[in-house]
Structures are given as C-alpha cells and as structure tokens.
Amino acid sequence: MTTATPATPGLRIDQLDFRHVMSHLPTGVVAVTGVDPTSARPAGLIVGSFASLSLEPPLVAFSIARTSGSWPKVRRGGRFSASVLAEGQDAVCRSLSRKNGDKFADVPWHPSPDGAPRVNGAVAWIDCEPEQELDGGDHLIVIARVLRMSTGPGEPLVFHKGRLGGYRETIAA
C-alpha cells in the first residue's frame, strides 16, 4: 500500500504517520553503554539511529530522546562503547531498552580497555568518546569520536516495521 503524506511547510506531520513511514527504513540495533560515575554501575540504552558520520576524523552520530535517563549517565562517564547487537539478541535489546530496573541483570558483557561494558556476542564493538551534542528537536544529536573498533562473527539484529529479528525474518520474509 502506498500513502501520500503532505510535507508542505506549515502542515502538521502526524506523529503516528511519521513513525509508520520511518518504520519502513530498516535499522541496526546498537547498545550504547558506559559506566555511571555516580554509582560506578553500568548504564546504557538501545539506539536504532546509530550511523557513521565522518572518516577523518572518525566520528559516529546517533540521536537520543531528551527524556532518556541513561544517556546523561553514560555521557558523564566519558568514554563509552557501542555494541552492534547480533541476530538472536532480542532479549538483550528488550533489557537495555527498558525504562527502569536493572537493565544489565541478564546482559553478559565484558569491559572495554576504558572499562565501558561491551555486550558479549555482538557483531561489532565501537569504543567512543563524546564530542558534541547538537539540538535535534525533542532529541539530541550526539557526535562521538571513534577510539577503537572490532568485529565478531554472526549476523546483525535488525529492526524493521516494528519487528525485531534477523535479516531473513524482518526484511527478506
């Protein structure tokens, strides 16, 4: 089905329409995790907005809802890790995208050289340092410098049209 949504300046874009249309863009599922310096405990959240931004200098960018409780903790901790979740890590995604509770209780992780949690079994790890936060409406656009990277085996977890799964389940099906 195709639908036409007017995008004329001044016309209101309905939030549900916006979500529906954007859900047609498949994304990866990335755990952005660090250590809250106040509690010395892991903190983090899931983002689908993670993208490479610049090669020289090496930068990544992602958007964070201004309502996020976890990002300020990760930000205060300084260096953090981004783990690109693998197919089958749906439960990790659900834990780390919860608003409350001990998000890391059932999430196996190992520390990066900076001490930030890297999720075990992810397909890639990108260790970062926050550089800038820009205004992005009801979100912040976070720009971070890449410090080091590595990859693991397996296929990525994908989010598409509200479904979480492997590439075959969510896109090719």
Ligand X SMILES: Cc1cc2nc3c(=O)[nH]c(=O)nc-3n(C[C@H](O)[C@H](O)[C@H](O)COP(=O)(O)O)c2cc1C
Contact set with ligand X (CB under 6 A): 29, 45-49, 62-65, 68-71, 93, 97, 99, 159
Among 62, 47, 144, 49, smallest CA distance to 96 is for 47
Identity of the residue, 113 or 132, whose beta carbon is nearer to ligand X in the bound complex: 132
CB of 114 to ligand X, least distance (A): 20
CB of 154 to ligand X, least distance (A): 18
> Residue 127 pairs with which residues in a beta bridge?
81, 148
CB of 139 to ligand X, least distance (A): 6
CB of 146 to ligand X, least distance (A): 18
**DSSP code of 94?**
H
Identity of the residue, 49 or 120, whose beta carbon is nearer to ligand X in the bound complex: 49
What is the C-alpha to C-alpha distance for residues 36 and 117, in angstroms, rounded to an integer? 11
What is the C-alpha to C-alpha distance for residues 78 and 8, in angstroms, rounded to an integer? 41
Identity of the residue, 63 or 120, whose beta carbon is nearer to ligand X in the bound complex: 63
Identity of the residue, 62 or 125, whose beta carbon is nearer to ligand X in the bound complex: 62
Among 160, 159, 161, 141, smallest CA distance to 85 is for 159
Among 74, 158, 56, smallest CA distance to 117 is for 74
What is the C-alpha to C-alpha distance for residues 16 and 42, in angstroms, rounded to an integer? 33
Residues in the chain: 173
CB of 68 to ligand X, least distance (A): 4
Torsion of CA 150, 154, 155, 157, to 10 degrees: -80
Identity of the residue, 45 or 146, whose beta carbon is nearer to ligand X in the bound complex: 45
